[in-house]
Amino acid sequence: MRQAIVLGAGMVGIGTALHLQQRGWAVTVVDRRGPGQETSYGNAGIIQSEAVSPHAMPRGVRRLLAMATGQTNDVHYHPGALPDHAEPLARYWWHSEPDRHRRISDAYARLIAAATAEHGALMAGCAANGRPVDGLVRREGFRAIFRDPADFDEAVAEVEHHRQRWGVRYATLTPAELARAEPALTQSGVAAIHGAIHWLDPWTLSDPGALVAAYAQSFVKAGGRLVQGDAATLTAGPGDGWSVTTDDGPVEADAAVVALGPWSPALLQPLGYRFPMVRKRGYHQHYSGGGLSLPLLDADFGCVLAPMARGLRITTGAQLTHADAPADPVQLARAEAAARALLDLGDPVNPTPWFGTRPCMPDMLPVIGQAPRHPGLWLHFGHGHQGLTMGPASGRLLAELMSGERPFTDPDAFRPERR
């Protein structure tokens, strides 16, 4: 039986482990914490089947100036940290050119298109193993609001393009229709809204970390191993194998998968691999009020208001700072103020906001494939904002490559050696 070590117990790592297990591999997942307790926990809890095109960097002067001068809340940066981000941001800007971005989106959309089906298969596996997850999932989409007519018209034009090209389903809502759908919104808040978009097909979660944990339990029930350990101890063993030190002792396997999200480049650097990455820090906080039925994206403030098991969660956009910088939730404060104008938010539930890092590659595509110079070492990271969405689909792709199967989609755009 072929053996594999998967480093990382987030959605990407667990999705990979399950697909390898289904193909007859004996799999050990190694993480320093429990499953779904890092970036996979801290997101807006949306399986975004509508997100067929990754976030491009604005190229128009007006929007770039707004970002540079701090007039937008979706991006916030610390000037002293910009040298840390200069190279990956420059490459991100280059890849955001419309023709390049269009080609990137064609590859990206193929993974997104498989997202809900692959999640559905893993959820069915949970049910078969006596751990149904239906209580965590809603299949009614989510909404976005726009206060500026020009922004709304631009968003509708983009979504209509996605409908025609990729079959994305949506509906537009007037303020009155939005108020009927979400009666918790205040009259004054609704009065400031020009229009809304309801994406109809995404699935939403009341606890994204709990979904990862449920997948992990299903993996263990089917014979997989889940242990705590230090990924930095990964070493090439005799022959083509790999080993890692864990709390249960050393683990050896024929293959190792690096699925450590934002920590992946640092692990790979001593092996001679260099992966510039845009590290986007994000924050969230839960509140005792809210009353929303579905998540609400506030496009003007770059945040999502998502009803969760722990309360209404506000998640923020991207903050560019030093990797070890202390928390600076300025975007969360602005988002909270905007949310209080929309509904009765209540009090913060957590004593301090959570924050984590989203791992985004400069060309906006995840890295999926074998390390060029190390047989048996496989790479699977860099999903940006969509690790929760794409993890099971990209995990299937990697498992197919590792198993010598015909992949369900062309893997060329995701190969580690691309430039």
Q: What does each of the 419 residues of the chain score in pLDDT, given as a tens digit?
A: 899 999 999 999 999 999 999 999 999 999 999 898 888 899 999 999 999 999 998 877 677 677 766 778 889 999 999 999 999 999 999 999 999 999 999 999 999 999 999 999 999 999 988 889 989 999 999 999 999 999 999 999 999 999 999 999 999 999 999 999 999 999 999 999 999 999 999 999 999 999 999 999 999 999 999 999 999 999 997 677 999 999 999 999 999 999 999 999 999 999 999 999 999 999 999 999 999 999 999 999 999 999 999 999 999 999 999 999 999 999 999 999 999 999 999 999 999 999 999 999 999 999 999 999 999 999 999 999 999 999 999 999 999 999 999 999 999 999 999 97
> CA-based Rg of the chain, rounded to a whole angstrom?
21
Helix, strand, or coil (residue 368) = strand
pTM above the 0.85 mark?
yes
| Distance, CA of 364 to CA of 338 (rounded, Å) | 29
What lies within 8 Å, CB to CB, of 215 at 6+ separation is 11, 14, 15, 18, 35, 122, 126
Residues 200 and 2: beta-carbon distance below 8 Å = no
Residue showing tokens 């809502």 = 173
For residue 399, give Cα distances in angstroms to 18, 322, 337, 352, 368.
9, 34, 45, 38, 10
| Distance, CA of 81 to CA of 239 (rounded, Å) | 42
Residue showing tokens 């978009």 = 197
Alpha helices in 23-170 (DSSP H): 61-68, 82-95, 98-113, 115-128, 149-166
Using DSSP, how many helices (H) and how many strands (E) does the chain show? 12, 22
End-to-end CA distance of the chain: 35
| Distance, CA of 237 to CA of 255 (rounded, Å) | 10
Number of residues that this document lists for the chain: 419
The string of DSSP letters for 288-352 reads S----SS-EEETTTTEEEEEETTEEEEE--EEE--TTPPP--HHHHHHHHHHHTTS----BSSSS
Residue showing tokens 């006596």 = 130
**247-303 pLDDT, tens per residue?**
999 999 999 999 999 999 999 999 999 999 999 999 999 999 999 999 999 999 999
Residue showing tokens 């683990």 = 251
Helix, strand, or coil (residue 73) = coil
Alpha helices in 167-207 (DSSP H): 175-181, 187-191
Angle, in degrees to the nearest 10, between helices 387-402 and 115-128: 80
For the chain, give every domain's residue range. Answer: 3-45+112-135+208-276+362-414
- According to DSSP, the residues that pair with 359 across neighbouring strands are 279
- What kind of fold does domain 3-45+112-135+208-276+362-414 have according to CATH? FAD/NAD(P)-binding domain (3.50.50)
Residues 258 and 379: beta-carbon distance below 8 Å = yes
Residue showing tokens 């039925």 = 293
> Residue 378 corresponds to which tokens in the numbers above?
């496989």
Residues 283 and 327: beta-carbon distance below 8 Å = yes
